[in-house]
Chain A
């Protein structure tokens, strides 16, 4: 009698089994992709040769021959190269992105909290803002701010005065410009030292509190370190800070800090738009903290302010931060809409002017995409690290 149970299960045939089939399909697909890529590159090479389009990166070091009206680094048509134009565009993109992120975050948190307010009218106003902003295209808002609000402003002679010595007209926003005198470096140094010392003090206090249940006083020493010490140094050095106020001279303003209307419109549009999305994220994050947490905190005798700071916010942040980072990336990517209102960002300068002048489409577009891609991937990587650190530790 043969024991059937010990028999080996029927083996799948080597060439027609699922594994072999999968390998065959993948090989076929790989071949198709490689063939498509090769055909595309071959076509591109032939087409570019036929149309006299450059296929190398020589253009990078050639003189640009165009001017950019707003630069963070020196740039001139005669001496600067296309490579310099790239740097100028990238810096302008980063500047508007960083400013936009700061404004959008502050505004977004305020509106998000206002939406949760028990005050009906405040909550409704915040809700109306969010719905109107989120349901209209960003490009429309940018065009509105630039073409319908900033461009029709009166000329320099009829400038509108803003509080604090600032002016606004159709040539831009004119702000008082801080002039740092000699010794300002020491003030900055004291500030940096103060911030570092505060961070150290906080972590020492935290460790002590976890061990003994009683921490060190933090608030007053940190205020002294961060605000008091730099202020003392500043006053000791004889207040080396003067303001250069913009003044109307002839047909335009002289002195002060000129912010171009394109930048104002872009910053305004991006911040207001992203703030609406951040507000929804903040609202969702705070709502996600269960009521029991707040009630337990009250039962422990924590005041509402402390409950918010110690119980709700830390838990809400865990929910808020990942989508918030996503919004920051969106804002950075959306800053490419600058091209529609003529703000010289990476896309407008590099993928616009440089592309048109050199005709090096493939190289220029690839570099532009690579820049945004690197920004996105680096941010995502940092975010993953952070998420791993703050992830809920279940025991």
Chain B
């Protein structure tokens, strides 16, 4: 039917260029129209929100920065009317907030422990890092031992071992080390940020393997194992952490022989670790449920034994799927470490909460300053972890699409 074209009537051969959208729909103006003044309700809300921000921001900035006292020898400057946050107080107390009453000449032990922990954490969390299995072993097995030795002091066994090596080699410096290195620092001196991190790390180190074990036990075919795991998980999940801490603090010493009474810091650590483990078990259970049945069947068809199937096929997939969930439960755990204060442990928040009553500094702005500082600290950690979890989620779902 090409005749129609040759009749001389005008027929368009090409598309005309589309017109640009009207100026009111383009650029900044269009964005403002669409996102801030989309309708009468939206416009009203925008005006209200802006009014709220205009009303609040200057006061906040003045309090936090402009009127704040940045350096002062004591609380006098902060007690003046009209002053804002007393950052001088935070600066003066920073050492206590970080280390508690840990002997000031031995702070390097804490620093070194934190440094090793941070290095291992980066190794494990870095998405493209190599040899994570080795890192995990170091983190779960070697690091706890090194950490206890650095923070608490060299135990008698290590000391004896070192002494006998010194005798064998005849080295004088080794013998000195066996006798004097790393003296014991009692846990009653521990406190501050490093105790918060310690509680969280112990929770993580224990809850990962124990949580996996409980999750596997919960879906075991053996009724005794399954029943035991279900009861433990449901009971601990059904009660508040505070009661678990109370239990660890008051009941645990009764349940062990009288001469075994656990250290006052160890008791809440056991409570926190147990609590974190059952929540971890539920996260891992979700991951196990996400592994397709065919993976199990494939592994069985290859003739793998139950444990090899779990170790080589099921768990790697299950744990990868729930990395965001694991990180989220770490965030919850990190926030929950504040509760150990109830059994008298000087964690970071308790350190902040007690120091605000120090007569040298006490004043109308001190409480708020301390809490804002603590909030900033927890926010940086938790927000960082949640961003990491989001990033991992995106990476994982990217892998799934292919």
Interface residues of A (CB under 8 A from B): 22, 25-26, 29-30, 33, 40-41, 43-44, 46-48, 50, 53, 117-122, 125, 131-132, 134-140, 143-144, 147-148, 152, 333-334, 336-337, 339-340, 347, 351, 355, 361-362, 365, 368-369, 372-373, 375-377
Contact = CB atoms under 8 A, between A and B. Distances in A.
Interface stretch (B86-94, B102-110, B116-124, B331-339): B331-339
Given A53-B254, A119-B35, 19 more contacts: A30-B224, A41-B255, A50-B258, A117-B42, A119-B38, A119-B46, A121-B35, A136-B378, A138-B335, A333-B240, A337-B339, A347-B243, A351-B246, A361-B250, A365-B247, A368-B246, A369-B239, A373-B238, A377-B238
B367 A148 contact: yes
Nearest to A141: B375
A271 B14 CA distance: 63
Contact of B222 (A25, A48, A50, A152): A25
B239 A373 contact: yes
A22 B237 CA distance: 28
B292 to A, nearest CB: 21
Interface stretch (B19-27, B180-188, B379-387): B379-387
A121 B36 contact: yes
B225 interface: yes
A140 B240 contact: no
Contact of A137 (B36, B250, B378): B378
Given A118-B42, A147-B367, A139 B349 contact: yes
A197 to B, nearest CB: 35
Nearest to A144: B371
A303 to B, nearest CB: 14
Contacts of A136: 335, 375, 378-379, 382
A121 B35 CA distance: 8
Contacts of B224: 26, 29-30
Contacts of B253: 47
Contacts of A29: 224-225, 228
Contacts of B256: 40, 43
B342 interface: yes
A131 to B, nearest CB: 7
Contact of A47 (B38, B258, B379): B258
B164 interface: no
B378 A22 contact: no
A135 B386 contact: yes
A292 to B, nearest CB: 21
Contacts of B49: 121-122, 125
Nearest to B222: A26
B255 A43 contact: yes
Nearest to B339: A139
Size bracket, chain B contacts: 35 or more
Given A139-B349, A340-B342, A47 B254 contact: yes
Nearest to B49: A121
12 contacts: A40-B256, A47-B253, A47-B258, A50-B258, A119-B46, A120-B36, A122-B42, A339-B342, A347-B242, A361-B251, A365-B251, A373-B235
A281 to B, nearest CB: 14
B68 to A, nearest CB: 16
B342 A48 contact: no
Contact of B383 (A43, A121, A135): A135
B251 to A, nearest CB: 6
Given A44-B255, A351-B246, A369-B243, A143 B371 contact: yes
Given A48-B254, A125-B49, A140-B374, A337 B242 contact: yes
B171 interface: no
Contact of B238 (A135, A138, A340, A376): A376
A273 B266 CA distance: 30
B368 interface: yes
A79 to B, nearest CB: 28
Contacts of B221: 22
A216 to B, nearest CB: 32
B344 interface: no
B45 A365 contact: no
A135 B258 contact: no
A150 B246 CA distance: 28
Contacts of B76: none
A56 to B, nearest CB: 15
B215 to A, nearest CB: 17
B371 A372 contact: no
Nearest to A132: B379
A144 B375 CA distance: 10
A137 B254 contact: no
Contacts of A137: 335-336, 338, 349, 378
B203 to A, nearest CB: 14
B257 A339 contact: no
Contact of A336 (B242, B258, B335, B371): B242
A339 B321 CA distance: 38
B60 interface: no
Contacts of A152: 364, 367
A147 to B, nearest CB: 5
Contacts of A53: 254
A33 B228 contact: yes
Interface in B352-387: 353, 356, 364, 367-368, 371, 374-375, 378-379, 382-383, 386
**What 9 pairs across the A-B complex have the smallest Cβ distances?**
A376-B238, A135-B382, A120-B35, A333-B240, A137-B335, A361-B250, A336-B240, A40-B255, A26-B224
A115 to B, nearest CB: 13
B46 A122 contact: yes
A119 B36 contact: yes
A337 B45 CA distance: 36
A135 B385 CA distance: 10
B115 interface: no
Interface in B204-241: 221-225, 228, 234-235, 237-241
B95 interface: no
Nearest to A372: B239
B341 interface: yes
Interface string B156-198: 0000000000000000000000000000000000000000000
A143 B243 contact: no
A265 to B, nearest CB: 13
A336 B243 contact: yes
Contacts of B247: 365, 369
B312 interface: no
A377 B335 CA distance: 25
Contacts of A22: 221-222
